[in-house]
Structure 1
Amino acid sequence: MEQRLEGLAEQVKEQFGLRDYTLAREHIHRRVGPNRETQFIYSMEWFPSDSDQDDEDLNPEGTASIEVDVHTGQLQHVIFVGGVTHAESIVLDDEAKVRRWIETETGVNVAEQTEQASGEIRTYQYHSMIDGIRTTPAGTIEIRLDEAGRLVFFTIHGRFPQKEEADVESFALTTEKVKEIVMEQLQLLEFPVMEKECFVSAFALEEIYMTNDGRETLPFQLFWSEQRVERDEILTYSSPLRGTVETQEIDLSEEVSLEQLKKQEPHPDLEPLEPGTVDRVDKAIVRFLRMNHPEDSGKWRWKNVCRDHGYVVAELEEVEKTRAVFQRKLKLFLSKDGGEVLTHIDTGAFLEMFDAFEAADTAQYTKTEAYELLKDKLKLRPTYVLDRTTGRYCLCGLLDCDDAVLSHSGEIVPLADL
């Protein structure tokens, strides 16, 4: 395996013209790959030979940080610090060369499997698609060039599925057909305005996917977990427990040893969450609440449990909802077997900063009136969504809106400004 890594280092040195560079740091980490496999990544940091490096934790300008898949040798990430290269780097001085390079390095058919999301000067971004329609979870590619057209940044993430992996059909949804769902997703929320230390009340749409027949909805997820169990359970208990759950340090690093690489140790997040594990999580959560929140029986809802960085992670939210856009949540990190809470994140401390904020003005507009103001601004974008149970992509519509309606005035404002 050492010879394999040496070979990859030589390959990278030659490919990027790093003759005046020195391999200063290297390590191996693993992650869950796009096909739900364990992917081992070889990370290298190449310093310019004439650089003066005083701080061991910082990389000098021009450093080349490069990652490759250990087994396939495929590039995963390239960045020249500060956008500066001292190497005889790859030159891609027009879009045609960018596309050809991507196809050679990644095997992705740019014309058929991606949509160009950005073509700004010296920056190129591509998004995965099937039959001209975007997919989720997304596959993304980004390239940046310096003024001479030399590559100074590259990254690839996620899957770029083939058309054969989808149940291809014509998009049938319209915003008029799904008005009932729109009304359910249109919520009166209170947004904190930091500059004025007050809340603003507005009607805004919560993003959601809906199947092409309009019969089912799927939650919008920014982050996908390979192993996730939904619960939606209110937690109750009859008596407190003395003491508190002591916080323990957790390690969120993905770095692995050479021995782990040789043994091909699978990523822990791929281990299924068995019923016995979920049962232990249930008991550990209740024990945590009885000690740390003894008066909160019936006040917390257990939303889901998943694996993350080798830990079992449970997410809780308060049962009683407010109109605040930020709701209080608990994120509990448990041992691998789910039997012990090791540490937790409570957003309550963050929310305390809003305690002194001035209350929002009383709403003068109804949800129906807000809908009439927003209906022409609604977006229903066809998207192929991966069905984790079948491994196939089904056509859905992503319902979204970039604007909101201020409830006291009826003014339409960009959601990003709230």
Structure 2
Amino acid sequence: MSHIVRKWTERISNAWALQDFQLKSATIRREVSPIQTTEYRLEIEWFPPGTAMIDDLNPPGTVYAEVNLTLDLLTSFIVVQNEDLRKKPLPLSSTKQRDVVAWIQENTGLQQKVDYELEREEQGENGSEYFFTSRLAGRKISPGGYLEVKINSEGVIVFFTLTGFFSKFYPKIQVEAASEEEPRNIEEWKNQQVILFGTLKESGYQLLYGVEEAFLDDVEERFILEWSNEKSIQKIPRSEHKPGKLWEDFRKSHIISEEEMDSSVPHPDAIPISQGEREACFQVITDYMRMHRPNESGKWVIERLERQHGMIEASVSPISTLDRIMDKFKFVYDSKDKSIIEILNKRELFEDLVDSSIPKPQVTKEEATAILNQDIFFEPYYLYDRKQKRLKSTWMIDCHMFVDAQTGKKIWE
């Protein structure tokens, strides 16, 4: 057992009353952080005394913990299925919010009203549960940070997780001074962000108008797919590997030793997509769309391109938001051998589930915008800029109401 694993297993065991539990596993993984940097995490499992795996499943009362080694911080402690078999675990003074908040500050350094705010709480016969989200100078942050704490009826914590981005843990990130000025061009943004979309119901489709949330000064990269049918199409390169096997192999490949943490090898998902990778991926997608939708040049756009599990994932949507109800593609691309691993086609996925046609909207976009006008709001945010590596002050447009495109009736989300 390495030094860092021994240190944390002993620390958690003593603090969380696991002295008589069996240490089942301890694994160090190379992971990617919420801001696309490389971090190292330690995952630990304990079994209750005298228990073992049952049909490849962990026994009741198993305890799981996760430590962010880069931050030197416990980020998860979970008693599986809340079946707590520990002897005399230390309870909080009470299950009230003030005692939960005091525990969070003592164990993470995060302060309420400075680093996070209460999102909601749930009280039940078996205990209390609290959900918190990250803040910076009173503003929400993107990417967000989340805290969840569950206390049983005896006042003992049986579930704790800290995930996502909290600015206090990344003090070197520059924070742009917040402007209290109201956002400009409000009406223009409202008109732009109200879109028509559909939801799947048992009886068919329901058409709704709603606000597509967006950050006001965050220009997302979009690539419109256009092609000419004059040139012949080369065979679309398809990988012979199964996605599930590739993802499992990828996950296993990032189980490392303590010594390997010093090598500073970046997590593949933290490496920016190069221009060459981008162009090669776009070409394969363009060829595929040209082959399967030859008459739809200029009607499709690549909206998102990111690394996941070492692969490149691309979301391809119709430019018309109405067409997105039944039509959308997701491509998983291997940049190493320049081949497509998987294609998810929304039309194929849903064609057997729904045989009804899409109804024609009876309410115009302009009418829907007028109906939603008083419900649309602009919320101050801090947005992490990956290119400039700083938190910039901005606003997000959003709305919690929808308009039924058939009746004009308002609907709460």
Fold match (TM-score > 0.5): yes
Counterpart for residue 311 of structure 1 = 311
Q: Deviations over 1:88-125 (max 9, x none)?
A: 43422233332232223222233311111123332122
2:274 counterpart letter in structure 1: E
Q: Output the CA distance in 1 between the equivalents of 2:369 and 2:135.
A: 31
For 1:165-204, list aligned pairs within 5 A: 165-173=175-183, 178-194=186-202, 196=203, 198-204=204-210
Query: Residue 135 of structure 2: SS of its match in structure 1?
Result: strand
Query: Per-residue deviation at 1:287?
Result: 5.1
Paired with 1:244 and 1:217, the residues of 2 have a C-alpha distance of: 34
Q: Which residue of 2 aligns with 1:406?
A: 404
Alignment-derived partner of residue 379 in structure 1: 377
Local SS of the residue matching 2:167: coil
Moved more, 62-71 or 350-359: 350-359
- Distance in 2 of aligned mates of 1:363 and 1:71: 52
Instruction: Describe the SS at the equivalent of 1:42.
Output: strand
Q: Which amino acid aligns with 2:152?
A: D
Q: 1:124 matched to which residue of 2?
A: 130
User: 1:303 and 1:128 mapped to 2: Cα distance?
Assistant: 27
Q: Give the Å deviation of 1:46.
A: 0.9
Code of the aligned partner of 2:409:
E
1:60 aligns to 2:53 (yes or no): no
Give the letter for the 2:395 counterpart: G
The Cα shift of 1:147 comes to 0.9
Give the structure 2 partner of residue 234 of structure 1: 226
Deviation at 1:243, TM superposition (A): 7.6
The gaps in structure 1 that reach 5 residues or longer are 211-215, 220-228
C-alpha distance after superposition, 1:150-179 (max 9, x if no partner): 1111111222225972322214138xx512
Residue 17 of structure 1 and its aligned partner are, at CA, apart by: 0.7
- Residue in 1 that maps onto 2:112: 110
Distance of aligned partners of 1:201 and 1:318 in 2 relative to their CA distance in 1, 3 Å threshold: closer
Could you say what secondary structure the match of 1:281 adopts? Answer: helix
Structure 2 Cα separation of the partners of residues 20 and 129 of structure 1 = 39
Give the residue type in structure 2 aligned to 1:282.
Answer: F
For residue 109 of structure 1, what is the amino acid of its counterpart?
A: Q
CA distance in structure 2 between the aligned counterparts of 1:75 and 1:235, rounded to whole angstroms: 51
Aligned to 2:39: 39
The 2-side partners of 1:81 and 1:153 are apart by 8
The one-letter amino acid of 2:165's match is R
Q: Contact (CA 8 Å) 1:365, 1:409: kept in 2 or not? A: yes
Indicate how the Cα distance of structure 1 residues 200 and 135 shifts in structure 2: closer, same or farther if over 3 A, else same: same
Other-structure match for 1:9: 9
Cα distance in 1 for residues equivalent to 2:109 and 2:228? 52
Q: Does 1:137 align with 2:143?
A: yes
* TM-fit CA distance, 1:217: 5.3
Residue type of the alignment partner of 1:391: K
Secondary structure at the counterpart of residue 374 of structure 1: helix
Distance 2:113 2:206 in 1: 45
Distance 1:201 1:376, change over 3 A: same
Please tell me whether the aligned partners of residues 277 and 338 of structure 1 are also in contact (alpha carbons under 8 angstroms). Answer: no
Aligned length: 393
Give the 3 Å change call, closer, same or farther, for CA 380–353 of structure 1 in structure 2: farther
C-alpha displacement at 1:252, in angstroms?
2.4
Q: Say yes or no: does 1:356 pair with 2:355.
A: yes
Q: Which runs of 5+ in 2 are unaligned?
A: none
TM-aligned CA distance change 1:35 to 1:408, over 3 Å = closer
Q: Does 1:391 align with 2:389?
A: yes
Which residue is 2:247 aligned to? 252
Per-residue CA deviation, residues 7-55 of structure 1 (Å, 9 max, x unaligned), is 2212221121102311123323222124543111111111111435322
**Contact 1:144 1:151 (8 Å CA) reproduced:** yes
Q: Would the aligned equivalents of 1:113 and 1:128 in 2 still touch at CA under 8 Å? A: yes
Give the letter for the 1:377 counterpart. Answer: D
Give the distance between the partners of 1:275 and 1:316, measured in 2 at CA. Answer: 18
Shift of 1:244: 6.9
- TM-score for the superposition, normalised by structure 1: 0.83
**Cα distance in 2 for residues equivalent to 1:82 and 1:273:** 40
Mapped partners of 1:396, 1:73: distance in 2: 31
Question: In 1, distance between residues paired with 2:75 and 2:37?
Answer: 15
150-159 vs 261-270, which moves further? 261-270
Distance 1:414 1:324 in 2: 23
The 3-state SS of whatever aligns with 1:353 is coil
